[in-house]
Structure 1
Amino acid sequence: MPVPGHPAGGLKLPVSPPSRLRPPAVDALSIPPRLSIIIPCLNESVRLPRLLNDLAALRKRGHEIIVVDGGSGDGTLEQAAQGADRTLNSPAGRARQMNAGAAAARGDAFWFLHADTRVPRSVPAGVLACLRAGRPWGRCRVRLSGDTLVLRAIAALMNLRSCLTGIATGDQGIFVTRSAFDGVGGFPEIALMEDVAISRALKSGVGRPACIRPCLVTSSRRWEQRGVWRTVLLMWRLRLAYWLGADPAELARRYR
């Protein structure tokens, strides 16, 4: 006989579903390591604010932006003060400026960016994820700001070259842990090819670079101003000469 207040036979009382608590959202940009983003500049008052705007979300989450000026006369430092944590003066020369930024940095890892670079939103999370995975250094894929077929082909060749050689260039956004950077003595303070030189040292010391698949956008002005094929051939000749032992100061003169 059914007991009052109890279900009879196979009758099932409705059961409230268990509450589903959503885990708190994880902000990938706020998880350590802390980046020090180091930007060497010389007369980049027009382009630098665009890059600083791209990096504003990182800055809000505790990462550090350092702009190192090499003697600009166009108001670059005034522009930098509006979007950077620190602005420094340094003797001109990309290697000197980047080393000065690293010496002043407080982060666990350094990310070196050219002032005419643009940083899409997906790139910083990729850099941080790579560092959290234990990779001591790496670089990003790039695409050029121009939209012609030949510029797209040049960017593809740049990415392929870096994959094959394990050598990164400055426009690919080299990132490196503080310990790995200190371990190779920073950038050699040479007039040109400092990015190739530190890549060779890091590759020998800690292994090949990691590669971030989301692309940085690097300015195509060098190719557009000097001529696409002329610039490609010039860079090939300069790199070959460097590998053969040419003086970087002479290479810099030829580049300019």
Structure 2
Amino acid sequence: MTAVPIKLSIVVPLLNEADNLTRLIGYLAHLNPLPHQVILVDGGSTDGSVVIAKKLIKGLINSSQADINWQVVDWQITESAAGRAIQMNVGADLATGNVLLFLHADTQLPSHAITEITSAVMRAEWGRFDVRLDSPEWMLSIVSQMMNWRSRLSGIATGDQAIFIKKTLFEQLGGYPQQPLMEDIELCKRLKAIGKPACLRSKVITSARRWQQYGTWRTILLMWHLRFDYWRGVSADNIKQRYYKT
């Protein structure tokens, strides 16, 4: 079966991501094929993220590498109120592609990601990638594998796994729920009721900074506890307070 061409809009929420922007723009610019559109949605950064992003994109478009036509990508930078769900919904509203990919600023897609997504949306309405934490620590390698197994068994993905979804379905569900945390879990619960995700085995590489900053075991136990509490009905506001208190 021939893959159906798609127009992929990548939506990236930003909040004080100045340290990650050079890598982010570099990774996106070397996807093959290139995306239809990249939308950066800033939620009130105070570290100059917007200015830095504009400078990097301008430099990329004016690059002397004439063999790569970065001008075909529709680069968009916009601002919104803070909150990952709010920012991603703002980006989705601006998207002109027929498939949306929600990407964290500290997460790197595999270079062939768009080809894989094109194939995946032939058999599923939505999906996600496997994930690898960017640390050589053996325990974090196990954590990565456990995240992938849990996601494959449960059909629930986290934002770190680069969730992609057909835009018409995203709009049908009303976008991300307006809650301060666990918005990815809640969206996936709604998506599961419609169909199973395409669980791609190619890995995105995401930051291990939280595990490294707060300790591997402490972070594992916290995440399990928060997810269990959300499952039993504890509010997202309560969970957010405990998540950012650590």
Same fold (TM over 0.5): yes
| C-alpha distance in 2 between matches for 1:135 and 1:79 | 36
Unaligned runs of 5+ in 2: 58-73
Would you tell me which structure has more helix in proportion to its own residues?
2
| C-alpha distance in 1 between matches for 2:196 and 2:140 | 26
TM-score (norm 1): 0.84
Q: How far 1:211 moved relative to its partner?
A: 1.1
Q: How far 1:255 moved relative to its partner?
A: 0.3
1:246 aligns with 2:219: no
| C-alpha distance in 2 between matches for 1:64 and 1:110 | 10
| C-alpha distance in 2 between matches for 1:150 and 1:80 | 34
Q: How far 1:162 moved relative to its partner?
A: 0.2
| C-alpha distance in 2 between matches for 1:154 and 1:222 | 13
Comparing 53-62 with 38-47, which one deviates more in the overlay?
53-62
Q: How far 1:182 moved relative to its partner?
A: 1.0
Contact 1:122/1:214 (8 A) holds in 2 = no
Aligned match of 1:141: 130
| C-alpha distance in 2 between matches for 1:106 and 1:121 | 22
2:107 aligns to what SS in structure 1? coil
Aligned match of 2:86: 96
What amino acid is the match of 2:188? S
1:50 aligns to what SS in structure 2? helix
Mapping 1:1-256, distance limit 5 Å: 32-58=5-31, 61=34, 63-81=36-54, 82-83=56-57, 85-131=75-121, 133-204=122-193, 206-256=194-244
Runs of 4+ in 1 over 3 A off after TM superposition: 57-62
| C-alpha distance in 1 between matches for 2:108 and 2:6 | 22
What amino acid is the match of 2:137? T
Aligned match of 1:6: none
Give CA deviations for 1:73-114 in whole Å, capped at 9, x if unaligned: 111112222337111111110000000000111110100000
Greater relative contact order (CA < 8 Å, ≥ 6 in sequence): 2
Q: How far 1:176 moved relative to its partner?
A: 0.2
What amino acid is the match of 1:167? I
Contact 2:31/2:112 (8 A) holds in 1 = no
Contact 1:51/1:119 (8 A) holds in 2 = no
| C-alpha distance in 1 between matches for 2:32 and 2:103 | 15
What amino acid is the match of 1:148? E
Unaligned runs of 5+ in 1: 1-27
TM-score (norm 2): 0.88
Q: What is the CA RMSD across the aligned residues, in angstroms?
A: 1.8
% identity of equivalent residues? 45
| C-alpha distance in 2 between matches for 1:86 and 1:251 | 32
